[in-house]
Amino acid sequence: MFELFIARRYLRAKRKQVVISVITFISVAGVAAGVIALVIALAVTNGFKNTLERNLLGATAHVSILEKEQGEGIEDWEQLAGKLAKLPHVASATPGLYESAYISGPVQGEGAEVKGVNVAAGSALPDALKHLKAGSIDGLRTSGGNLPGIVLGSRLAQSIGAVNGKQVRILTTKLLPIGPVPRYIEARVAGIFELGFYDIDSHWAFMSLPAEQKMFDLTDVVSSIDIMLDDIYAADEVQGAAAPLIGPKLAASTWKEQYHQILGALKIERLATAITIGMIQLVAGLNILITLVMMVMEKHRDISILMSMGARASQIRNIFVFEGALIGATGTVIGLIGGYTLCYFLDHYKLIPLDEQVYALPYVPFNAQAFDGLWIAGAAMTVSLLATLYPARNATRIAPVEALRYE
């Protein structure tokens, strides 16, 4: 197309008015900067969302079967778990016993959430127990020296001074006729896990289900039945399918319901980030508009000659539309390459550290998704093309006779 040929020549040719070349360069840089900023910002929000989902669900469940009203616990859980495990999308249905305790080590004591799990051979384990940095699961299956085994989070173990293979003391309460009486139970550290999420690593511990039931003087009951899925976004479907099986005294709760506040905040933050940083694209669009307006003023003689030679108004208009599109496309390609490259290196080498006690993560995660790149590119090109409408329309209004009268 000759319009595209002329547009490319105008962008590449040296001009007497250097300011137009400078503004063109600034326009390309503005589009690229806007694209890079959006890619990085959305990669950060995606990274926090995905990391939080992965780490939170690594200790809990995708769907939890809980008592509607707190009672003695869920009885006959084995039979119910077997039925739930046969539902579509269910990878496993395992028991969970959640109790709070105070764990003392050589240095100090800390409050912790102790979860009792089924550690029998072949049973599904929480993701946290798959990330052991010391010890092994076998330590929970056997009682060394008649002491129950316990697996501690890495931050919790560091805080209380616990070491793998050594003893810790667990403070619980026993209800007697005279009231609750504190008691200490000795346990052996069977392992230390590190999930990479501060709140889990600093406040969670795991024991075998029978050992925890015995420690808290409970019968064969559990707090919940934790269902893990092959697709976490099928949680609502599994929730509906589980309702007829669990009866009126129990309820199914999905991970979306349990963490809706955190996920809702991240969703709003993502929208606000896209809108705020997207304003950079509007600035880049104004630069493109200024560039094309000045170019129309500079090229009025060339436009008049083209029109005298028979060029239609639509072809003259397309020349400047193509110029704006080329500026936008160049900036978009540079921005996408730069944005995704920066995200890769920032995430791979963990270049931006965080305070774990504040943000729960040791570094800023970057998760740049391909779909985000598509709509960012589409938005950048849309703004670039809209910026061409006014100058392209003005170019078609040039009267060849008036423009060439004094040439």
pLDDT of residue 103: 96
Same domain, 282 and 361: yes
pLDDT of residue 371: 94
Give me the amino acid identity at 264. Answer: G
pLDDT of residue 403: 56
CA 18 to chain CA mean position, Å: 45
Using alpha carbons, list the distances in angstroms from residue 85 to 93, 95, 154, 227, 233.
5, 12, 31, 8, 17
Q: Return the SS3 of 123.
A: coil
In a domain, 257, yes or no: no
Same domain, 356 and 212: no
pLDDT of residue 301: 84
pLDDT of residue 16: 55
Give me the amino acid identity at 343. Answer: C
Residue 202: which residues within 8 A CB-CB, separation 6 or more? Answer: 110, 153, 155, 156, 159
The rounded distance, in Å, linking the Cα atoms of 192 and 150 is 9
Same domain, 35 and 86: no
Give me the amino acid identity at 140. Answer: L
Same domain, 42 and 92: no
Report residue 174 as tokens.
């026993």
Same domain, 207 and 319: no
Residue (of 192, 112, 111) closest to 151 by Cα position:
192
In a domain, 389, yes or no: yes
- Owning domain of residue 131: 70-248
pLDDT of residue 12: 74
Same domain, 99 and 238: yes
Q: Domain ends where: 202, 222, 248?
A: 248
Residue (of 26, 31, 36, 35) closest to 325 by Cα position:
31
Same domain, 211 and 274: no
Same domain, 329 and 387: yes
77 forms beta bridges with none
Residue 59: which residues within 8 A CB-CB, separation 6 or more? Answer: 115, 126, 127, 128, 195, 200, 204
pLDDT of residue 400: 73
The rounded distance, in Å, linking the Cα atoms of 50 and 43 is 10
Contact 246, 121 (CB under 8 A): no
* Full DSSP string of 14-70: --S-HHHHHHHHHHHHHHHHHHHHHHHHHHHHHHHHHHHHHHHHHHS-SEEEEESS-
The rounded distance, in Å, linking the Cα atoms of 4 and 300 is 18
The dihedral built from the CA positions of residue 162, 165, 166 and 172, taken in this order, carries a sign that is positive
Same domain, 98 and 197: yes
Residue (of 87, 84, 106) closest to 95 by Cα position:
84
Name the DSSP class of 162: -
Same domain, 315 and 193: no
In a domain, 218, yes or no: yes
Q: Between helices 313-348 and 2-12, what is the axis angle to 10°?
A: 60
Name the DSSP class of 100: E
How confident is the model over 367-403, as pLDDT tens digits? 999 999 999 999 999 999 999 999 999 888 887 766 5
Name the DSSP class of 148: P
Contact 158, 180 (CB under 8 A): no
In a domain, 255, yes or no: no
Same domain, 90 and 128: yes
How confident is the model over 78-121, as pLDDT tens digits? 999 999 999 999 999 999 999 999 999 999 999 999 999 999 88
Domain count across the chain = 2
Give me the amino acid identity at 351. Answer: L
In a domain, 61, yes or no: no
Report residue 128 as tokens.
């946290």
Query: Which residues of the chain fall below pLDDT 70?
Result: 13-19, 143-145, 401-407
Same domain, 297 and 334: yes
In a domain, 372, yes or no: yes
Q: How many CB atoms lie within 10 A of CB 305?
A: 15
In a domain, 200, yes or no: yes
